[in-house]
Amino acid sequence: MELTILGRADYLPTVEAMQAFTLNRDAQTPDALWLCEHPPVFTQGLAGKADHVLDPGDIPVVQATRGGQVTYHGPGQVVAYPLVDLKRAGYYVKEYVYRIEEAVIRTLARYGVTGHRVAGAPGIYVRLDDPFSHLALTGPAQPGEPFKGLGKIAALGIKVTRHCTWHGVALNVTMDLQPYSRINPCGYAGLETVDLSTIGISTTWDEAAGVLGQQLGNLLAP
C-alpha cells in the first residue's frame, strides 16, 4: 500500500482525484492510502436528509458520493482515504469496515483511550465519563438513546466501485468542534462529538496521522 500525505487539501478536488484513481486502476495498480485534512466543509452522504443540516452558516455543504449522512471535516482532523482492491485483498465490505474501525481503535489505544463500536452506527465512540476505561459497553443500547454517555471521535463513510474502495474515515484530533452543533452528526440529533484534545490527549496532527496510517496499512493488507 502506497502512502501519500496530502496535507491540507480541498475536499472536492480530493474526491475527484480518488474517483479518477479508482476508475482508472487495473488489477496491477498498487493499493494506496491518502492522508489529509480538509478546510471546513459539511459533506452530505447519499442517504443524507436535508433537515439534518441545521445551520451551516458560512461553511459550505457539499453533496458527497459516499454512503451515510451528513458530517463535518475541518482542520485538526485526520482524514484517511484507503484505496483498496477488495477482490485482490480477499475480503468483503463488512470485513473492510471492521478493519478500518479496528485501526482507529488501535490508534486510540496508543494514547490509552478505549474506542467502542455501537451496533448499527459505523464509526468509533468513547465514554464521556472515562475515555480511558477498559470496561466494555454493557447491555443493549436504550431505545432512542443508543449513544447515551458516549461521544463520537471517528466517522466512517465509504464507497465501493468495481470492488475498489474510496472515501474512508476521519479521526478527530484537535479541532474546533462547534460546527458539529450546526448539524445532526451522521444523522443523529444530539450526538456529542469529541476529539483527542477534549478528552485530555495532547498530540499533533502529524503524530496521529502517522499512527493511524500505520495501523490502516497493517490491517488492510491482504
Q: What is the pLDDT of residues 59-96, one digit of tens each?
A: 999 999 898 889 999 999 999 999 999 999 999 999 99
Distance CA 203, CA 112 (A): 12
Q: Which helix (H) or strand (E) holds 146?
A: none
Q: Supply the range of the domain harboring residue 151.
A: 2-219
Task: Find the range with the poorest average confidence among 10-14, 32-36, 129-133.
Answer: 129-133
Give the integer Cα–Cα distance in Å for 41 and 3: 24
Q: Kindly report each contact of residues 92-99 with a partner whose C-beta sits within 8 Å and lies 24 or more positions away, as own/partner.
A: 93/158, 93/160, 96/158, 96/165, 96/220, 97/122, 97/156, 97/158, 99/219, 99/220
What CATH number does residue 202 fall under? Answer: 3.30.930.10
- Checking if the pLDDT of 190 tops 60, the result is yes
Query: What's the distance, Cα to Cα, between the start and end of the chain in Å?
Result: 10
At 120, list the grid cell.
448499527
Domain count across the chain: 1
Q: Which three cell numbers stand for residue 90?
A: 480477499
Q: What pLDDT sits at residue 50?
A: 87
Query: Hey, which residues are catalytic here?
Result: 186
pLDDT-derived band at 145, boundaries 50, 70, 90 = low
